[in-house]
Amino acid sequence: MPCTNSLIGGGGFHHVAIKVRDFERSIAFYQDVLGFRTKIAWTMGNGTPATMLDTGDGNYLEVFGDPSFEATPNGAILHLALRTTDVDAATERCRAAGCKVTMEPKSLVIPAAEPTPVRISFVEAPEGVVIEFFQNELT
């Protein structure tokens, strides 16, 4: 993977970290429904389970288990946007797994300097994590 950010020596996202109450349920969802694969898994010194899941392109979702975790509405992470070539199919996979679809798949144009057509949808994963499926040709 090319390193294109000369200011920090690399660039791009490595991972997004989330905390979940039901670790096993969450890991099963990301693996079985979204196809993520465990890259590394470990237990922290305090007994907290953790894992890094490869989302499919060398970017990771890092998951920490905490049975006492209480998700707060509208936390700091608004959503995880996952690139896909088929928003509709990804949305249906999540719906079939019991996820709440909060925005059905739709096409729109982001009104940037270079208008950007996209197809998107939003689902609510276990623990209230909001996932956006994002499909386009430009970004």
- What is the tens place of the pLDDT at every residue in 70-87? 877 767 687 899 989 999
Write out pLDDT tens, residues 31-67. 999 999 999 999 988 899 999 999 998 899 999 999 8
Write out pLDDT tens, residues 86-119. 999 999 999 999 999 999 999 999 988 888 999 9
Q: So what's the pLDDT on residue 102?
A: 97
CA 110 to chain centre: 21
- The answer to whether residues 121 and 132 touch, using CB atoms and an 8 Å cutoff, is yes
Return the higher-pLDDT residue of 104 and 1: 104
- The answer to whether residues 90 and 133 touch, using CB atoms and an 8 Å cutoff, is yes
Buried b (16+ CB within 10 A) or exposed e, 79-107: eeebebeebeebbebbeeeebeeeeebee
Locate all alpha helices (DSSP H) within 23-117, ordered by sequence: 23-28, 87-96
